[in-house]
Amino acid sequence: MRMGGIRVPHNKNTAQSHSVRLGVPGTVTIPMSMHIGKYARVIVQKGDTVKVGQLIGEADGFVSSNIHSSVSGTVRKIDEIMTSMGVKVPCVVIDSDGKQERYEKLAPPKVKDFDSFVRAVKESGVVGLGGAGFPSFVKINVHDLKKVEAVIINAAECEPYITSDTRTMVEKGEYIFKGIGLLKRYMDVGRFIIGIESNKREAVRIMQELAAETEGVEVHVLPSVYPQGGEKVLIYNTLGRIIPRGGLPLDVGVIVVNVTTLAFIAEYMETGMPLVEKCITVDGSAVKEPKNVIVPIGMSIADVAEASGGLKCDPAKVLYGGPMMGITVPSMDEPILKNTNAVIFMDEKEARPPKITACISCGACAAHCPFRLDPRSIARAYKLEDGAALERLEVDLCMECGCCSYVCPAHRPLVQTNKLGKQVLRKFLSARQARKENDFKERSVRERQEKQEKEAKK
């Protein structure tokens, strides 16, 4: 038995498109937050000369990530940029000199044990490159390595259009297996599972050939069902294990690593070049020439579009990522981020939302939800702002994959409602916790007063 999901048009138009490195843009804008957690602290100033790979933002907290310059040139200014979460963070704007000179202090890290391996991964600035953006050194920094029974390498790439991970497997397969070797050596893990969808035939063949030569590596070819690449879905469909509510993969003895993230770690160990560029898929109905391109982090979407061959029309919608879980960007000036795996440009017809009609209670949303949630009941509870009901309906388990909205014949904005429902639940839980703390304080005061009164009577 496998977790539910849906079949969506693959639109893998660029699966055979060898990744091409674009020219260096005139300017890059590099945010200090391209990862989950606290944003990095800017360590350069206006007017500074920087080179490719030079540290410009230092991780500022346990869950944070180093940021490096993707071009050589001059820091034009230290500014602010609005993230996709609606939060302003510092950014460094650099005017490129076009030379792409490598920072002279870069060198392959010296790794001799687990601690130095974790430190090297941290110094590289790598985060989850499949879209999550979680700092990779935090994920692998497991205090008790005996808990890690298996590493699942997420090569599913289930979103329509996106093929950048596919190109990693085809073009850099040897680095994926070098990464596996590093985890074997420094984390003492004996079992590795590559989870990959069946529609990536060339990548499947390459992974199977390399796995046949490597002890402890299994290739699980999975049905091409969205959202196969969801962490909880992938763990269940490869190992049959269910992460407990509020839990982490490690709670079931697993670490999940994106395939491109793993390849980058291995490449960094050889070259010493931190994360400064990204292979992304450029596609969509407004694109003249869909392709995979390698671009400096911080390059604007507008520059990427122009350098990739241009657009057929002004896009009505532009997405970071795919059409199921991607985020709409407010402007073509937005930069490519560490965890950007695609930019999708939609024309007016593709971007036009369908007309919303009344729910017909068909139950398709619940039937296709990977976690069997009930979006209809969640929507009612959200409308009533019923936090207790939302907790009972487990809205916090929603991964916002969009399956419910996709299959809804009435085109209800179910995934958006689930997301808003999580906010109501958070307020409810916060208020409940505050009441508990207040009750505890009042009880403590009462008990203290009663004790004082007893002592006074004596």
| Adjacent-strand bridge partners of 152 | 193, 256
Radius of gyration of the chain (CA): 24
Q: Span 25-44, mean pLDDT? A: 95
Residues 253 and 389 in one domain: no
- Grade residue 195 by pLDDT with cuts at 50, 70 and 90: very high
Strand 254-258: give its sheet, edge to edge: 217-222, 192-197, 150-154, 254-258
Give a yes or no: residue 408 inside a domain.
yes
Is residue 349 within 8 Å of 43, Cβ to Cβ?
no
What's the pLDDT band for 456 if we cut at 50, 70, 90?
Answer: confident
Predicted confidence at residue 83, as pLDDT, reads: 80
Domain end call among 239, 271, 303 = 271
261 with 359, same domain: the answer is no
Average pLDDT on 395-418 reads 96
Residues 232 and 363 in one domain: no
Per-residue pLDDT for 359 more than 90?
Answer: yes
How much is the average pLDDT of 432-448?
89
Which pLDDT score is estimated for 205?
Answer: 98
Shared domain check, 455 and 361: yes
**Residue 76: helix, strand or coil by DSSP?**
strand
> What is the percent of the chain with per-residue pLDDT over 90, rounded to a whole number?
90
Q: Of the candidates 229, 245, 271, which is a domain's last residue? A: 271
Q: CA 82 to CA 352: how far, in whole Å?
A: 25
* Structure confidence at residue 441 (pLDDT): 87
What pLDDT sits at residue 8? 94
The pLDDT-based confidence of 448 (bands split at 50, 70, 90) is: confident
Section 54-68 average pLDDT: 95
Please enumerate in sequence order all residues whose Cβ is within 8 A of that of 69, keeping only pairs 6 or more positions apart, or say none.
Answer: 30, 50, 51, 52, 53, 54, 56, 92, 94, 103, 276
Do 382 and 240 lie in one domain? The reply is: no
What is the C-alpha to C-alpha distance for residues 268 and 175, in angstroms, rounded to an integer?
Answer: 10
DSSP structure class, residue 102 = B
Q: What is the dihedral of CA 222, 211, 12, 320, to 10 degrees?
A: 90
Report if residue 128 sits inside a domain: yes
Instruction: State percent of the chain over pLDDT 70.
Output: 99
Same domain (yes/no): 267, 377: no
* pLDDT of 449 strictly over 90: no
> Looking at residues 367-387, what average pLDDT do you find?
96
Q: Average pLDDT of the chain?
A: 95
Q: Are residues 172 and 266 in the same domain?
A: yes
User: Does 14 reside within a domain?
Assistant: no
Q: What is the pTM of this model?
A: 0.93
Q: Within this chain, do residues 250 and 375 fall inside the same structural domain, yes or no? A: no
What's the CA gap between 276 and 297, in Å, rounded? 6
Which residues, 6+ apart, have CB-to-CB distance to 361 below 8 Å? 376
Q: Is residue 26 one of the residues assigned to a domain?
A: no
Q: Judge residue 113's burial from the number of C-beta atoms within 10 Å of its C-beta, 0-12 exposed, 13-18 middle, 19 or more buried.
A: exposed
Q: Which amino acid is at 208?
A: Q
pLDDT, position 2 = 62
**Chosen domain end from 220, 242, 271:** 271
Q: Is 75 domain-assigned?
A: no
Give the N- to C-terminal CA distance of the chain in Å, as an integer: 70
Q: Are 152 and 257 in contact (CB under 8 A)?
A: yes
- Please tell me whether residues 360 and 267 are part of one structural domain: no
What is the distance between the alpha carbons of residues 222 and 128, in angstroms, rounded to a whole number?
22
Judged against a pLDDT cut of 60, whether residue 188 lies above it is answered with: yes
Owner of token pair 């965890």? 339
Alpha-carbon dihedral sign for residues 302, 306, 309, 313: positive
User: 255 and 393, same structural domain?
Assistant: no
Residue 221: predicted pLDDT: 97
Residue 457 has pLDDT above 80, yes or no: no
For 16-34, the pLDDT digits (tens) are: 999 999 999 999 999 999 9
**Cis peptide leading into 135, omega within 30 of 0?**
no
Determine the structural domain holding residue 403 and report its residue range.
355-458
DSSP H or E segment with residue 307: helix 301-307
If asked whether residues 253 and 385 sit together in one domain, one would say no
- Mapping DSSP onto H, E and C, the string for 266-291 reads HHHHHHCCCCCEEEEEEECCCECCCE
pLDDT at 87: 84
Categorize the per-residue pLDDT at 346 as very low, low, confident or very high, splitting at 50, 70 and 90: very high
Asked whether residue 43 is domain-assigned, the answer is: no
The number of distinct structural domains making up the chain is: 2
Question: d(Cα 19, Cα 163) in Å, to the nearest integer?
Answer: 10
Lowest mean pLDDT among 32-41, 68-77, 120-129: 32-41
Task: Kindly state whether residues 121 and 257 are assigned to the same domain.
Answer: yes
Domain membership flag for residue 96: no
DSSP symbols for 333-387: TPBP-TT--EEEEE-HHHHPPPPP-------HHHHH-TT---HHHHHHHHHTT-H
What is the rounded average pLDDT of the residues 415-423? 96
CATH of the domain at 190: 3.40.50.11540
Average pLDDT estimate for 216-242? 96
Higher pLDDT, 1 or 270: 270
Mean predicted confidence (pLDDT) in 147-157: 97
What pLDDT sits at residue 458?
Answer: 66
Q: Is 346 part of any domain?
A: no
pLDDT by residue (tens digit) across 83-139? 877 789 999 999 999 999 999 999 999 999 999 999 999 999 999 998 778 999 999
